[in-house]
Amino acid sequence: MYEVTQLSNGTRIATAHMPQMASVSLGIWSGSGSRHESASLNGVSHFIEHVLFKGTSRRNAKEISESVEGIGGYLNAFTSEENTCYYAKARADKWEILADVLMDMYLNPSFDRDEVEKEREVIREELAMYLDQPSQHVLELLNEVLWPNHPLGRCITGTNSSIDRLKASDLRRYWKKHYVSSNTIIVLAGPLEHQTVVKKLSKYARRITKGKLPSWKPIKLIQHSPQFQIRPKHSEQIHLAFGIKTSSRHDEHRYSLRLLNTMLGENMSSRLFQRLREDHGLAYTVYSNLGFFDDTGFLTIAAGIDAAHLEKSMELIHDTLLEFCRKKPLRKELNQARDYLIGQLDLHLENTENHMIWLGEQILGFGKPLPSSLIRERLMAVSGEAVNHTANLFFKPEHLNLAIVGKVAKKRIQVLQNWLQ
């Protein structure tokens, strides 16, 4: 059961009551992420996420970690395009300690200059690690192709130049503007009663200052021709990623897209995995993935392949996409995909941490919790004809985007460009 209470300052406190659980997961969410950043501040949201662990007016970095680890819990955070979450998990009887530590971090960060400089180097190493992994690098490159000249096309971590520009004063100013009450949600999943949680957390939450919701630049979905970028890199494999713009999280097409994606490449039973890996042995890794934002979305297909198999792999991927446009899936395949998604949802929500993240994303994304029963109903209502219609709506030649990281000869690049056209 989900309950949400909004305090007088606009902060929302939400709970997922899981009476059978021995643990609690508590998360503090700020509805700000990389898409709210200007080009000059690229990476600031992620930088702040790091620095909030480095000390407050009450605790230093070691005391923050010891406070949670000393009770057998753990503490973490993540930054996405549209939000940032700080969370912790421990035994249910220790939840008030988690609340005190997390709220201290959120309300009282020190932004110590020495700590900021240390963390700058950590983030530079994190960025270098991502770019050194072709499978990750190609997805960052695809974002640039999908969302040119837009915050969604920039790396969440930032770039070396943007990270170097950011000062402690920039971080504090951005935190003060975006970590405001109307943009904050506190979420707890576990065996505690809602009113018990609200009573305890209210004394912290009422101290969050008021402010305006952050603005963001909407996406223009018009694309008249396929786009292509290659990043030369010496490696044994070539990593490629196709991307197609789809619908927002509010569009009803998202349910047929979820089923289509499952049949396409979400698991080992999918068409892409069976064809590229099992039937032809062209790729060790191949998968598809969906992402939804407030105003748009995307479908990604990624694969790591031997250079000699590049053109053959691309043809198979393209043909597999077009199959969904030519005819509806068989009832058996559609039912298997539906059972997979519903089963994965049920398994996912058995865990307090997953449930906390699920609830936070629902409230930030839709303004309210969407019960899992509603999602099951919508998935059950999707027909094969709806999947076919959705494929034809989004899978158009001019909507294709392609990124490649690896060593590709110049003459083959021209062949690939001609193939895309």
Helix (H) or strand (E) holding 260: helix 253-261
User: Does 196 lie in the same domain as 114?
Assistant: yes
Contacts of 71 (CB under 8 A, 6+ apart): 90, 91, 94, 97
Position 273 in a domain:
yes
Amino acid at site 55? G
User: Does 63 lie in the same domain as 126?
Assistant: yes
Position 336 in a domain:
no
Which residues of the chain fall below pLDDT 70?
221, 409-421
For 135-164, the three-class secondary structure string (H helix, E strand, C coil) is: HHHHHHHHHHHHCCCCHHHCCCCCCHHHHH
Rounded Cα distance, 316 and 295, in Å: 31
CA distance readout (Å), 3 to 14, 24, 154: 6, 16, 36
Secondary structure letter of residue 218 according to DSSP: P
Instruction: State residue 335's pLDDT score.
Output: 98
Report the CATH number at residue 304.
Answer: 3.30.830.10
- On whether the pTM is more than 0.85, the answer is yes
Going through 212-363 in order, the beta strands assigned E by DSSP cover 227-231, 237-246, 283-292, 297-306
Instruction: State residue 131's pLDDT score.
Output: 86
> Does residue 181 contact residue 10 with C-beta atoms inside 8 Å?
yes
Smallest Cα–Cα separation from 179: which of 48, 34, 13?
48
User: Considering 37, 49, 81, 119, which one is annotated as catalytic?
Assistant: 49
User: Does 235 lie in the same domain as 174?
Assistant: no
User: Does 123 lie in the same domain as 270?
Assistant: no
Rounded Cα distance, 406 and 138, in Å: 9
User: Does 251 lie in the same domain as 194?
Assistant: no
CA distance readout (Å), 284 to 263, 279, 303: 18, 12, 8
Task: Return the residue matching tokens 């009663």.
Answer: 193
User: Does 13 lie in the same domain as 85?
Assistant: yes
Rounded Cα distance, 161 and 298, in Å: 28
Smallest Cα–Cα separation from 218: which of 299, 296, 298, 140?
296
Smallest Cα–Cα separation from 253: which of 388, 354, 366, 135?
388
Contacts of 19 (CB under 8 A, 6+ apart): 191
Instruction: State residue 397's pLDDT score.
Output: 86
For the record, the structure tokens of 213 come out as 């919701």
Q: How many domains does the chain have?
A: 2
In terms of C-beta density within 10 A (0-12 exposed, 13-18 middle, 19 or more buried), how is residue 300 classed? Answer: buried
Cα dihedral angle (355, 356, 360, 365), rounded to 10 degrees?
A: -20
Residue 144 Cα to chain centre, angstroms: 16
For the record, the structure tokens of 97 come out as 């300690």
Helix (H) or strand (E) holding 393: helix 384-394
DSSP-derived secondary structure for 169-205:
HHHHHHHHHHS-GGGEEEEEEES--HHHHHHHHHHHH
Collapsing DSSP to helix, strand or coil, 214 comes out as coil
User: Does 313 lie in the same domain as 190?
Assistant: no
49 a catalytic residue: yes
Position 365 in a domain:
no
For the record, the structure tokens of 86 come out as 């700080």
Instruction: State residue 412's pLDDT score.
Output: 67
Position 105 in a domain:
yes
Instruction: State residue 233's pLDDT score.
Output: 83
Domain termination site, one of 205, 238, 272:
205
User: Does 197 lie in the same domain as 232?
Assistant: no
Position 350 in a domain:
no
User: Does 289 lie in the same domain as 162?
Assistant: no
**Edge-to-edge strands, sheet with 401-405:** 227-231, 401-405, 237-246, 297-306, 283-292
Position 356 in a domain:
no
Which residue range forms the structural domain that includes residue 49? Answer: 2-205
Instruction: State residue 235's pLDDT score.
Output: 77
Smallest Cα–Cα separation from 13: which of 352, 348, 363?
363
Helices (H) and strands (E) in the chain, counts: 16, 11
User: Does 132 lie in the same domain as 57?
Assistant: yes
Smallest Cα–Cα separation from 244: which of 326, 153, 146?
146
Amino acid at site 241? A
Position 102 in a domain:
yes
Domain termination site, one of 205, 240, 267:
205
Contacts of 357 (CB under 8 A, 6+ apart): 27, 85, 87
Secondary structure letter of residue 43 according to DSSP: T
Q: Strands 227-231, 74-79: parallel, antiparallel or unpaired by DSSP?
A: unpaired
User: Does 151 lie in the same domain as 232?
Assistant: no
Helix axis angle for 384-394 and 310-326, nearest 10°, is 130
Position 255 in a domain:
yes
User: Does 116 lie in the same domain as 46?
Assistant: yes
